[in-house]
């Protein structure tokens, strides 16, 4: 008769649906960089501590170390949007404490093409010279023509 295996952990933790990758993607999609932080070019990481109830909802959150300029408030807003799959803990109502880091990085600006750069485009057409062929072959097969276009943007 085989022995039954028991769970190693008496209390199970709530899990974000999709794992940490899905949580990072959710945060990246819903992050709205504060205008004040953009104007002051503030970058960094906000460290948060939050509590989850037995239903997997965020009930309390606080900033451990912040950046200011509206980044702390935005991080708190994002954490309150998170929804976890509730853990089944033998009908116990357990509150969990978790920590998270939310990174604020300035968006990369694409260089704007000026009018002079748009004018400085060059188009080159290279046409190779046809090879000389015997006269008998020239009548039966038409010569092949090649053209190449190279575009260089400055």
Count other Cβ atoms within 10 Å, centred on residue 61.
18
Q: What is the pTM of this model?
A: 0.63
Q: What is the pLDDT of residue 87?
A: 81
**Residue 17, Cβ density class (10 Å: 0-12 exposed, 13-18 middle, ≥19 buried):** exposed
Look at strands 96-104 and 58-65 and give their pairing.
unpaired
Q: What is the pLDDT of residue 115?
A: 47
Enter the CATH code of domain 15-104. 3.30.2420.10
pLDDT digits (tens, 9 = 90+) for 52-93: 998 999 999 999 999 988 999 999 999 999 999 988 877 888
Residue ranges per structural domain of the chain: 15-104, 116-152
pLDDT digits (tens, 9 = 90+) for 96-126: 999 999 999 988 876 655 544 545 556 666 6
In which band, very low, low, confident or very high, does the pLDDT at 51 lie, cut at 50, 70 and 90?
A: very high
pLDDT digits (tens, 9 = 90+) for 126-135: 677 766 655 5
């Amino acid at each position: 008769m085989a022995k039954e295996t028991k769970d190693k952990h008496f209390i199970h933790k709530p899990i974000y649906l999709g794992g940490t990758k899905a949580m990072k993607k959710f945060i990246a999609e819903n992050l709205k960089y504060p205008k004040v932080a953009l104007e002051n070019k503030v970058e960094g990481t906000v460290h948060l501590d939050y509590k989850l109830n037995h239903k997997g909802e965020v009930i309390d959150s606080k900033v451990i170390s912040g950046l200011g300029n509206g980044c702390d408030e935005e991080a708190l807003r994002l954490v309150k949007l998170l929804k976890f799959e509730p853990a089944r803990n033998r009908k116990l109502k357990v509150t969990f404490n978790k920590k998270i880091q939310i990174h604020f990085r300035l968006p990369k600006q694409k260089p704007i093409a000026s009018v002079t750069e748009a004018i400085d485009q060059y188009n080159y057409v290279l046409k190779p010279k046809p090879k000389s062929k015997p006269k008998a072959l020239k009548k039966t097969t038409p010569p092949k023509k090649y053209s190449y276009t190279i575009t260089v943007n400055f």
